[in-house]
A and B are shown apart, each in its own frame.
Chain A
Amino acid sequence: DAKTTQPNSMESNEEEPVHLPCNHSTISGTDYIHWYRQLPSQGPEYVIHGLTSNVNNRMASLAIAEDRKSSTLILHRATLRDAAVYYCILLSGAGSYQLTFGKGTKLSVIP
């Protein structure tokens, strides 16, 4: 399975943008890039996913590099509620159903 690499932790000030990076140099052509986050004592929450083009939704934006070997999750204005562990996950459109959660990036938001 293609793997992802994320920083262990990041900090952001409240109301500032946050850019969470993810490297996936062995990504294959059929792999979608998914982002989930997990707030303390809760289940994971879907954030966004994409294949090749940049994607926007009400929660975040996903910027995908032209060679698809990296991507960045962008939170436009961090709030205290965004403090969570963020997981970048590759999921093949033709392969396993399993989401493989790594250690993710623990985002702290400073008031």
Chain B
Amino acid sequence: NAGVMQNPRHLVRRRGQEARLRCSPMKGHSHVYWYRQLPEEGLKFMVYLQKENIIDESGMPKERFSAEFPKEGPSILRIQQVVRGDSAAYFCASSPRDSRRSPLHFGNGTRLTVT
């Protein structure tokens, strides 16, 4: 039973480029969450999606960041015009029900480096 798959594992982008991070949830999971971990800091919630719908995006920066979870295919976290401060580890998690009723299963993250 494959776990949550994130790719790429490492991503290097120059300032101003776009970063696209992909997350394939566990089979049967329709709830997806994105968290960000800045260097030497704890994980911070970004966004919660359920197939084709954004449920809670209160942790997303207002500009340059967007997320989607289409009916078919992986969830995508998109960062436009990246800046050095976007360098972080981005973790995706999935669950069969919302996080209040079911533990989250995390992937091993995408480490974004902006040069």
- Write the residues of chain A forming the contact surface with B, with a CB cutoff of 8 angstroms: 32, 34, 36, 41-46, 49, 87, 91-104
Contact = CB atoms under 8 A, between A and B. Distances in A.
Closest 7 CB pairs of A and B: A43-B106, A46-B103, A98-B45, A101-B43, A101-B42, A43-B91, A44-B106
A49 B103 contact: yes
Interface string B91-115: 1010000111101111111000000
Given A34-B103, A43-B106, A91-B100, A100 B93 contact: no
Contacts of B101: 93
B91 A92 contact: no
A99 B45 CA distance: 7
Contacts of A94: 100
B47 to A, nearest CB: 10
A44 B37 CA distance: 11
A104 B55 contact: no
Contacts of B69: none
B59 A43 contact: no
A40 to B, nearest CB: 11
Contacts of A101: 35, 42-44
A97 B99 contact: yes
A42 B56 CA distance: 25
Nearest to A104: B42
**Max chain B CB contacts within 10 Å: which of A32, A46, A93?**
A46
7 contacts: A43-B91, A46-B103, A92-B100, A94-B100, A99-B104, A101-B42, A103-B42
Given A97-B55, A98-B56, A44 B100 contact: no
A90 B43 CA distance: 15
B69 to A, nearest CB: 14
Contact of A97 (B4, B42, B56): B56
